[in-house]
Structure 1
């Protein structure tokens, strides 16, 4: 079981990549390690590393590798994100992809080839580090593909599959340059829970419109079909807290629910599921409730089968000296900007000490699987499926009722896969049930939050 933290540098935020400081980084990572974390997720800014389509800066790659080395000195493994992309309401697209040079980032052949070259180079730069946990293609890159982004790069779902496959292949190619697909037998690969591949994980991360917004071209299949684990980002400002309250079951179980929902699309029952981002956003979770929210969210998530780990957002608060962030960003850290451990940090540390690295099995969920009607009776795709899964939706309400009844959330089963008895058996599903006819939506399904408010 993995406990990690998304690393937000205390000095200069992610702009610190412009003038990297090893001493500042060491101080931050030492503080993170003191919280009981075993890994960090780091975010080099895409325009800093690849300021021109045909220029990948070696110094920037060296800085990323140095962070991985510093983390190792404090016993931390590292997963490196490539395409930032988008962070905490700010977009970081390189200038060769915007304004006068705007081209579709997902479909233009030159752009895709150059982006893949960057992903490959970044993976190769850290591939030989023994504490490399993995490469994530980018931070919620799907937010660029559709509204509410103010200028989306429109694509189809199939084009999204083509792009994701190309990026995953690029990352794997970079890792292979150091032979990291060979069995390691210990360390990051052994702890990853990744039974299908050895070596560092390659993953694709999306914000939750992939599961809740039927118009978003990147969907659940993109999460389950690409990379080595299914990644979820759980934020209760997406409507969950508005419907259920900060400490209501639908809020503190949201991470658990999203993990179970995403796992329904996995073709391999043993595929790892990773809660890669989750936090206590103060715009909907009062500060006094944040420690309890942190503990309950983690405890519920631990009941999901094949959980690779929980990676909390984030390490440090954003400094008040930096302007124009959404207010919640200044208080999301487990540590203050000065490095003091906050009540949420103390609670995270308690959870890491209790469960980190343990072989504690998930509590047995009800053997019944709750059926999600992803297809009509004639087998054609059903409309509005993702909206029904969103906070306040009818399916979400039915899942939550069962979770509260049994104390642990049920697995989710797609109607299109009911005939796959081997997969159901491997998932521990011995019977299935439909959403009860008398189930009412807890609320009119709420549109997912604007990405500008999301980490």
Structure 2
């Protein structure tokens, strides 16, 4: 989650959810099986600094409170400088602690996805000393840095490869934010360099844990920011699934209003937008981060926003699952966070369930009991962008394409999105269930 941008394996142990990976390392059959529900694990004590004085009993208590919501997985975040303080030192004790966390989660019926290069979390950057100041080297192109990153990701994946509860690796949390504006000190790269970096790091994860669900995750600059080196095609074509991070403080709530249709359907829009670039017509999409940030979403409306967002996302075919941000609030004794970060948990720091948590738990239970896959989206809005999308602000909350999509959706059309280059490809449209295409300028303005 980047609060600085624009304002902004085996079946689940507790039920009959699908195995997370098929033979080719991608989630199996999300269009035919119920989406999964989990949370991004934020420790209730010490936030992610808990790795500095790891307390497995406290972790177990946190995981108990998560499992109590009836969820089936967590996404966890090792801090890169803590785990690899020197390029040639990946701390064995830290890796053991990560494995013990995964084992504790498994005991509670929770599968675990692990992010590697943290990287960036909740407005704070965590880079090891061997990449900054006197040792400043480009994170995406320096040969020594790349060797160190690949060794680190391979080590984590290898340590977890035999754990049935291990879903797979995400390269890092929104590491694309280091590659350009608005980061205050970016390591600038080209789209070609970004792709080479992604491929090498994904290969390292696969080498460590073959066949697991390894992917990468970008914040929404990849979809909305002109000239950003991490592109929609990277997000939708590399790795085992497409990760979507949906945050309405990115201008959506500010421009369209906190209670608007657009705000409640932003996550669903990003899911459908991502499919325009996917080569696999049924590539799984993981809504890997979504939350109800105050004051953009008032506390007394967080549960309603949660229900609306989840209902809209669940109407999207090929949704692998939803991982809410986040599990527990941040203790206000910790300083310097943006104010919205303190209250994003579905549980308080003393592990009490909040209204958004009850809404998430209720939806997860309903889906387990009554899941029916959504029908194909037969109407597609045509997006006239080249494959590399150098100018993609049109897709953002202030863009004309965004506005046309939301008007069409509000009229009940359940739109998909198709690139103009594919709008005449009958086989592509047939594979996606699309029977009608609509140009944005044909959508009525109210």
Quick check: 1:123–1:171 contact (8 Å CA) kept in 2? yes
User: Which residue number corresponds to residue 269 of structure 1?
Assistant: 281
Q: Secondary structure at the residue paired with 1:201?
A: coil
Q: Distance in 2 between matches of 1:247 and 1:337?
A: 27
Q: Distance in 2 between matches of 1:225 and 1:256?
A: 19
User: Which residue number corresponds to residue 192 of structure 1?
Assistant: none
* 1:402 correspondence with 2:413: no
TM-score, length basis structure 1 = 0.88
Q: Secondary structure at the residue paired with 1:158?
A: helix
| Structure 1 runs (4+) greater than 4 angstroms displaced | 380-383, 437-440
Quick check: 1:237–1:283 contact (8 Å CA) kept in 2? no
* 1:103 correspondence with 2:114: no
User: Which residue number corresponds to residue 317 of structure 1?
Assistant: 329
* 1:93 correspondence with 2:127: yes
Quick check: 1:256–1:409 contact (8 Å CA) kept in 2? no
Assess, with a 3 A threshold, how the Cα gap between structure 1 residues 358 and 169 changes in structure 2: closer, same or farther. farther
User: Which residue number corresponds to residue 399 of structure 2?
Assistant: 393
In the TM superposition, what whole-angstrom CA distance separates every residue of 1:359-392 from its partner, at most 9, and x where no partner exists? 4211443x121100014xxxx97763x1111002
Q: Distance in 2 between matches of 1:64 and 1:73?
A: 14
Quick check: 1:268–1:423 contact (8 Å CA) kept in 2? no
In the TM superposition, what whole-angstrom CA distance separates every residue of 1:129-158 from its partner, at most 9, and x where no partner exists? 001112111000000000110100000000
Quick check: 2:404–2:443 contact (8 Å CA) kept in 1? no
User: Which residue number corresponds to residue 212 of structure 1?
Assistant: 224
Q: Distance in 2 between matches of 1:335 and 1:363?
A: 34
Q: Secondary structure at the residue paired with 2:140?
A: coil
* 1:417 correspondence with 2:418: no
Q: How does 1:176-191 map to 2 (within 5 A)?
A: 176=210, 181=211
Q: Distance in 1 between matches of 2:444 and 2:402?
A: 10
**Cα deviation, residue 27, structure 1:** 0.2
User: Which residue number corresponds to residue 191 of structure 1?
Assistant: none
Q: Distance in 2 between matches of 1:37 and 1:381?
A: 37
Q: How does 1:14-413 map to 2 (within 5 A)?
A: 14-176=48-210, 181=211, 200-356=212-368, 359-365=371-377, 367-375=378-386, 384=391, 386-406=392-412, 409-413=414-418
Quick check: 1:201–1:229 contact (8 Å CA) kept in 2? yes
Quick check: 2:346–2:353 contact (8 Å CA) kept in 1? yes
TM-score, length basis structure 2 = 0.90
Provide structure 1 residue ranges, at least 5 long, that are not aligned to the other structure. Answer: 182-199, 443-455
